[in-house]
């Protein structure tokens, strides 16, 4: 049976000289959880992972594995396995030798090594490749070897540092499915770092969105998508990302938006000191109003007139880039839609699906 493995960051801090790149972050990772750290380059996600691995010194705070502080524990004694972006395979060794290396280092008996490597090679469909060298493998095969080398160790925790970023788009999709299947099978606590929000949304049990060395939000993929807590999360998660439009208060029921105004079906209560807002709406929550009707069947909808700027067909649907009320919008529409650039359109926004942020603090208000 796989041992319980929990991980906790307590006020974890990292400085390089006077520059602080991770700012006292706190995070609890559950046993068997697949947790993804996501954010742009330089946000501190890889540094946090490397501190967990023992590859970076900790400036402040604690890292605990199974309630034991590991700040000063050597990487080899933390019972973790890490898969790197560049695979880090030994070029002079065969696939079998790469996968068996950590077991040989631990002086595991040769018959056990052979059985264990064969078992994992079968699972990863690497058995026909065991005698090959890394240079004879494709990128996807090398990544599976790197994963197999980690799995044979049966560690308490898996760490992945942007492992799919060197693969093409189709292969990344295949490997995401493979990783989900493997996690379901082995149930080992996994911490995965990526800058790709699609990877984060498709792989994670919970997502940790990092921004400038801080944690902006922790939640399920559904929570960070549908209930973003900050402007940064709203603008980072989603493809295409949320429309974020500058707005100011007119009264408790109206916001000014560009050269128009919006009547919203909910009052801006308890926010009297906030006058500058960002109004957020997902592309799928904006619809084209067909015909010449002046009113929508849904009285709560906000109607705006605009002009199509660009069309981006995606097969299953179409992205429409438009200018309305002096603001740029992107909306998701049906495929093969009969509109073209420069055409006047009317759009309807569902305010019940909208979000309101403090433009200064970036915090969500609704």
Residue-wise pLDDT tens digits, 265-308: 776 655 556 778 899 999 999 998 865 445 544 555 778 889 99
Mean of all residue pLDDT scores within the chain: 90
- Going by the DSSP 8-state scheme, the letter that residue 277 receives in this structure is E
Domain 243-358 has what CATH class?
A: mainly beta
Between the alpha carbon of residue 243 and those of residues 5, 218, 250, 254, 284, the distances in Å are: 40, 22, 21, 19, 10
- 151 or 291, higher pLDDT: 151
Asked if the domains at 7-236 and 243-358 fall in one CATH topology, the answer is no
Average pLDDT over residues 221-248: 94
pLDDT category of residue 351 using cuts at 50, 70 and 90 = confident
Cis peptide before 101 (omega within 30 of 0): no
pLDDT at 290: 65
pLDDT tens digit sequence for 54-72 = 999 999 999 999 999 999 9
Structural domain spans, the chain: 7-236, 243-358
Report the alpha-carbon distance of residue 197 to residue 13 in Å, rounded: 24
Res 2 pLDDT > 70: no
pLDDT at 332: 93
Give domain 7-236's CATH superfamily: P-loop containing nucleotide triphosphate hydrolases (3.40.50.300)
Report the alpha-carbon distance of residue 87 to residue 145 in Å, rounded: 8
Is-contact 65 7, C-beta < 8 A?
yes
- 263 or 46, higher pLDDT: 46
Res 3 pLDDT > 80: no
**pTM (2 decimals)?**
0.89
pLDDT category of residue 1 using cuts at 50, 70 and 90 = very low
């Amino acid at each position: 049976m796989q041992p319980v493995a929990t991980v906790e960051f307590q006020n974890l801090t990292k400085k390089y000289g006077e520059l602080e790149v991770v700012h006292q972050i706190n995070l609890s990772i559950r046993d068997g959880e697949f947790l993804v750290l996501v954010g742009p380059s330089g946000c501190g996600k890889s540094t946090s992972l490397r501190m967990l691995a023992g590859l970076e010194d900790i400036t402040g705070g604690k890292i605990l594995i199974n309630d034991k502080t590991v700040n000063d524990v050597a990487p080899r004694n933390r019972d973790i396995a890490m898969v790197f972006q560049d695979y880090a395979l030994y070029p002079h060794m065969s696939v079998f030798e790469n996968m068996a290396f950590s077991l040989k280092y631990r002086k595991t008996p040769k018959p056990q090594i052979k059985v264990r490597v064969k078992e994992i090679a079968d699972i990863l469909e690497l058995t026909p490749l065991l005698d090959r060298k890394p240079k004879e493998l494709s990128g996807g095969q090398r990544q599976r070897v790197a994963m197999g080398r980690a799995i044979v160790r049966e560690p308490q925790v898996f760490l992945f540092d942007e492992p799919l970023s060197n693969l093409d788009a189709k292969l990344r999709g295949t490997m995401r499915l493979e990783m989900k299947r493997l996690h379901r099978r082995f149930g080992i606590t996994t911490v995965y770092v990526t800058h790709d929000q699609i990877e984060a949304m498709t792989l994670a049990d919970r997502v940790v969105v990092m921004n400038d060395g801080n944690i902006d939000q922790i939640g399920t993929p559904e929570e960070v998508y549908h209930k973003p807590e900050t402007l940064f999360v709203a603008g980072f998660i989603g493809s295409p990302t949320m429309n974020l439009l500058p707005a100011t208060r007119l009264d408790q029921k109206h916001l000014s938006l560009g050269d128009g105004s919006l009547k919203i079906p909910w009052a801006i209560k308890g926010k009297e000191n906030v006058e500058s807002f960002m109004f957020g709406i997902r592309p799928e929550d904006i619809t084209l109003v067909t015909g010449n009707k002046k009113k929508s069947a849904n009285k709560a909808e906000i109607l705006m007139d605009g002009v199509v700027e660009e069309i981006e067909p995606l097969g299953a649907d179409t992205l429409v880039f438009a200018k309305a009320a002096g603001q740029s919008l992107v909306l998701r529409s049906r495929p093969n839609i009969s509109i073209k650039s420069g055409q006047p359109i009317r759009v309807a926004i569902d305010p019940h699906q909208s979000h309101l942020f403090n433009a200064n603090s970036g915090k969500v208000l609704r």
